Structure 1
Amino acid sequence: MPNWFLGKIRYQQPIDDSNVGSRKDEFIKQKTITEAYLVDAVSYTDAEARLYQEIAANTPDFEITNITRMKLADVFYHDDGGETWFKVKAVFITDDEKTGKQKKTPSVMLVNAETPKQAYERVELSLKTALDPFEITDVNTTKILEIFPYTEESESTIVDEQTGEVTNHRPSAQWAQLKDGLRKARSIANTMVKGLAKEGISVSVKGPGESEYQQLKDG
């Protein structure tokens, strides 16, 4: 099941304006561009890694300003229409057996379309097979430019030679977990070096990160 995160980025774009005072000013003046993307990821760290992976090719100099989890019941993508993504809210109506009253459960979906009307109709058509009656209550335009779901190309298949078990691994997720592990290991090592330094014990650390450990030991 997809786990969606909304990522926002920011970068500087030169202003192409021939009316600017001098030619030198044309290259100096820049405007700030903000964009939003939706990415399927296993964690916030994985979402950050996937954003850099997907966006860096077309937008090399950017910074991620915010990542938030976006709870979605479904995402409907149509090849034949619409670069605009709409957030559609539907309310499913069921009968509560205990109270005998109707229970309304909201559900939020995304769909690409040309107009709000088309977004409404596409979601309505997609939900026709739903078992419970529903009504669409809201259709809102989002600022999402593109959506990055996980695909078969995004995953690698690994076969355990002993058990024959087949598992799918998400590369960026593995990288994110590795970075987290290294960060924790470095933190533990730093704490140990500081403690030994207080006891007057000299510690020599070799390998990657040696300069950082040495500074902590000396301090």
Structure 2
Amino acid sequence: MRTWFLCKVKYAKETEEGLLKSISEQYLVDAVSFTEAEAILYDRLGSQIRGDFQVTGISKSNIVDVFFFEDADIWHKCKVTYLVADGDSGKEKKVTQYMIVTAEDVKQAYDRIQESLSNMLVSFRVPDITESPIVEVFPFERDEPVDSLPPGNFRPVNQEDEE
């Protein structure tokens, strides 16, 4: 299961008049721990932000899924609710989850959430959509492919037994 961390970064940005203005931005990072989330921020933002920047806060986010569409760059936080049956008591239980999606406006965000969740087996509602202050999302990226083996003298086990 993914763990999304909401990270706040503060830095000085030069305005059009040439003055330095203190800017605070939020980023969403997929990481295993707080330490890894901070390391990812320093790695990714080091090349994007000129000058020094400071990570002022990292907290676990309640976001469970992220839907990225390349034609939009505004993130919208969507509250999704659905009912599930409790196995022990047989009563229905309301489940609330938060997801974010890129869209130009709230209507497009609603349409995209409906499209992305269309394969859910239970019916769901989207009671709330708000524009999010998140500037960018950094999903987990694997450095090396999993399927490749390191160079070496590897043979199948069945060939090893024949010798």
TM-score range, shorter chain: 0.7 to 0.9
TM-score, scaled to structure 1: 0.62
The root-mean-square deviation of aligned C-alpha atoms, in Å, is 2.3
Structure 1 residue identity aligned to 2:80: A
Say if 1:9 and 1:65, in contact at 8 Å, map to a contact too.
yes
Task: Measure, in 2, the Cα distance between the counterparts of 1:163 and 1:96.
Answer: 50
Helix, strand or coil at the partner of 1:125 = helix
* Greater share of residues in helix: 1
Task: Measure, in 1, the Cα distance between the counterparts of 2:55 and 2:85.
Answer: 44
Among candidates 111, 118, 141, match of residue 128 of structure 1 = 118
Structure 1 range deviating more: 112-121 or 91-100: 91-100
1:51 aligns with 2:51: no
Once the two structures are TM-superposed, the CA of residue 143 in structure 1 deviates from its matched residue by 0.9
Task: Measure, in 2, the Cα distance between the counterparts of 1:41 and 1:49.
Answer: 10
Once the two structures are TM-superposed, the CA of residue 49 in structure 1 deviates from its matched residue by 0.4
Matches within 5 A, 1:2-17: 2-17=2-17
Say if 1:37 and 1:144, in contact at 8 Å, map to a contact too.
yes
Structure 1 gaps of 5+ residues are 18-25, 165-219
Q: CA 1:110–1:159 in 2, change beyond 3 Å: closer, same or farther?
A: same
TM-score, scaled to structure 2: 0.82
Helix, strand or coil at the partner of 1:124 = helix
Name segments (4+ residues, structure 1) moved above 3 Å.
95-101, 154-164
Helix, strand or coil at the partner of 1:73 = strand
State the structure with bigger RCO (CA 8 A, min sep 6), 1 or 2.
2
Report which of the two structures shows the higher radius of gyration computed on alpha carbons.
1
* Greater share of residues in strand: 2
